[in-house]
Amino acid sequence: MKKVERRTILSALASLPVTGMLGGLAPAKADIIPVESEMKDIALEKAPKYRGVVYDVGLNFEKIHDMGLNAPDGLGVPPPDPAQVDYEMHAIKNVLHANTVRIEGERIDRLVMASRLAHKHGLAVFFNPWMTNANAEELRPYYAEAAREAEELRKEGVDIVFVAGCEYPFFQKGLVPGNTVVERIGALFPPTEAKSHPGRMSQYREDLNKILRSFVEVIRPEFKGPVTYAATTLEEIDWSIFDIVG
């Protein structure tokens, strides 16, 4: 590869536009301005396979703690307008230059709708059904249902990864004592042990991995694509359970 001089990089950067927040973007003409081919080669060599953002179609925050921000159905966002979702997926792909979107939410039908629109714009989908503050017994049939829908999307050609949970010790009941996120954080990181790292997380490692394995056992018969889990750096996950480290 030809050496790229510093002045070439600075000149190319100076020519790039400054874009606004997502809500203020115009819906057309989102093409990237061409830059030096050498710079593109460097960027592609360094870039991860999946580059994207999280897209929320409605989580039930009321189950976690009272924020006073919920829509009438209890979810964190109102029923999404497909036209708006379509526009935002276009922006994620063509303005933010992402190639992936992680779509999270409790309602499976909303996840499916947003996934199809993401696929329309050439985005890979991390399909993240997320029923907050549920226990493992409630989540297993929920994940099985979601996996069936995800498999239909996969058969339609959607590049899809199933996300079997997110930061389980904090957001779900039954593993760490506490009825809310705040209570569970307090149990994991008591004030008397505030400086400890990673708190008391290690004592839940075995039970957490048993729960995650039980989720994958109901997902894989329904969904034939890759499965992952969205972890914090504090969780000690047995990644042999999954196909992608998350």
pLDDT in tens, 119-151: 999 999 999 999 999 999 999 999 999 999 999
Q: What is the C-alpha separation between 121 and 96, in angstroms, rounded?
A: 13
Threshold 0.85, pTM exceeds: no
pLDDT tens, residue by residue, 209-241: 999 999 999 999 999 999 999 999 889 999 999
Q: What is the C-alpha separation between 172 and 54, in angstroms, rounded?
A: 20
Q: Which two tokens stand for residue 192?
A: 């008397």
- 163 — pLDDT class (breaks 50, 70, 90): very high
Task: Rounding to the nearest 10 degrees, give the CA dihedral for residues 66, 72, 77, 83.
Answer: 180
Q: Residue 218: which of 160, 138, 157, 156 has the closest Cα?
A: 138
177: amino acid identity, one letter: P
